[in-house]
Amino acid sequence: MEMQEVIERYQPDLEAVEALLEQQVRSENPQLTEVNESLLRAGGKRIRPLFALMCSRVGSGRPDWLHVLAGAVELIHMATLVHDDVVDDAATRRGKPTVRAQYGNRAAMYAGDFLFGRAIRMLSDIPNRDIHLELSGAIVRMCEGEIEQIQDLFNWRQSLRRYLRRVERKTALLFSVSCSLGAAASRADPQLVRVLRRFGYFTGMAFQITDDVLDFVADEQTVGKPVGGDLRQGNLTLPALHASTEPAVGDELRQRIHPNMSRNDVETSIELVRASSGLPFAKQLARQYMDKAMVQLHRLPAGPLQEDLATVARFVNQRMY
């Protein structure tokens, strides 16, 4: 089963979601529309809407607000991306200039707020309090995760557990919510909703840890941003944190990576992490989360949905662009 086949199966739904997104990002303000349309065109894989659409096949219902739900999840994701770029001082994302780099921090912040506003607008069309609660809860916890990330910048004494909690909030939560809300929208059995929530959660954990690995190994041309970007910002992810447990490497990393580090410190440290046990360790952990996701899938009725979800999960976690 290939990813392309799965996408084709969901093509009409995905196109409907895309049309909704195009409609929602339009503003009376031409510059804002331009910013948002370039964000939309920048691509992104629409994994979250796809998961919502797929999981909605597990039940028998199909509410007329299914596309709205899938679109709202993507808008929330887009809003957080724009704000992350403000915070990260990122100049490129997916190989293209960020909103911040093109239009400045101020416009980027309000573009993000605008997208939040539009997401709330979309939620108005979903007459289901539980869905509102789950999505607003996810936004709140995602923000808490971002603030924790800021607090943990350059903090070499953070625990693995604290790193994993950040990964959960940063990525796993919205994956998880996309899956469970898609399932709930189809009035699936609550047991199946829970299974898919866990599937999304584990897939999201694997996705983000893989992202943190890619940040060290992928080159700028293929991943669309400079190598070692996390370390450059003091964002200590699993490869670096695990590398720092190797006695020799750890001392050097802690000496080099601090708020006043030099460019040379960063370049040397990136090489240190790349040569350490940090990358294989992180890849191994991502694989374990992937395995846990697959265990959940085995609890679904056998059929095409089970296979499709496995295909997409494998795809998002084997990104070696």
Question: Which residues lie near a second copy (CB under 8 A)?
Answer: 27-29, 31-32, 80, 83, 86-87, 104-107, 109-114, 116-118, 120-121, 123-125, 127, 129, 132-133, 135-137, 139-140, 142-144, 146-148, 150-151
Question: Which is closer to a second copy, CB of 151 or CB of 222?
Answer: 151
Q: What is residue 96's three-state secondary structure? A: strand
How is residue 85 written in tokens?
Answer: 């770029």
Q: What is residue 93's three-state secondary structure? A: strand
Beta bridge partners of 92: 97
The alpha carbon torsion through 40, 46, 48, 53 (nearest 10 deg) reads 120
Question: Which is closer to a second copy, CB of 65 or CB of 202?
Answer: 65
Number of residues written out for the chain: 321
The nearest distance, CB 149 to a second copy, in angstroms, is 9
DSSP state of 277: S
* Whole-number Å distance between alpha carbons of 200 and 5: 21
The nearest distance, CB 241 to a second copy, in angstroms, is 20
The nearest distance, CB 24 to a second copy, in angstroms, is 10
The nearest distance, CB 35 to a second copy, in angstroms, is 9
* Whole-number Å distance between alpha carbons of 90 and 212: 16
Question: Which is closer to a second copy, CB of 137 or CB of 280?
Answer: 137
* Whole-number Å distance between alpha carbons of 85 and 42: 14
Question: Which is closer to a second copy, CB of 66 or CB of 272?
Answer: 66
Question: Which is closer to a second copy, CB of 140 or CB of 295?
Answer: 140
The nearest distance, CB 294 to a second copy, in angstroms, is 30
How is residue 296 written in tokens?
Answer: 């959940």
Q: What is residue 185's three-state secondary structure? A: helix
Question: Which is closer to a second copy, CB of 135 or CB of 209?
Answer: 135
The nearest distance, CB 34 to a second copy, in angstroms, is 11
100, exposed or middle or buried, with CB in 10 Å at 0-12, 13-18, 19+? buried
The nearest distance, CB 125 to a second copy, in angstroms, is 8
* Whole-number Å distance between alpha carbons of 228 and 212: 9
Question: Which is closer to a second copy, CB of 92 or CB of 233?
Answer: 233
Question: Which is closer to a second copy, CB of 68 or CB of 293?
Answer: 68
What does 194-229 look like in DSSP terms, one character per residue? HHHHHHHHHHHHHHHHHHHHHHHHS-HHHHSS-TTH
Task: Count other C-beta atoms under 10 Å from residue 292's C-beta.
Answer: 16
The nearest distance, CB 123 to a second copy, in angstroms, is 7
DSSP state of 284: H
**Sign of torsion over alpha carbons 227, 232, 238, 239:** positive
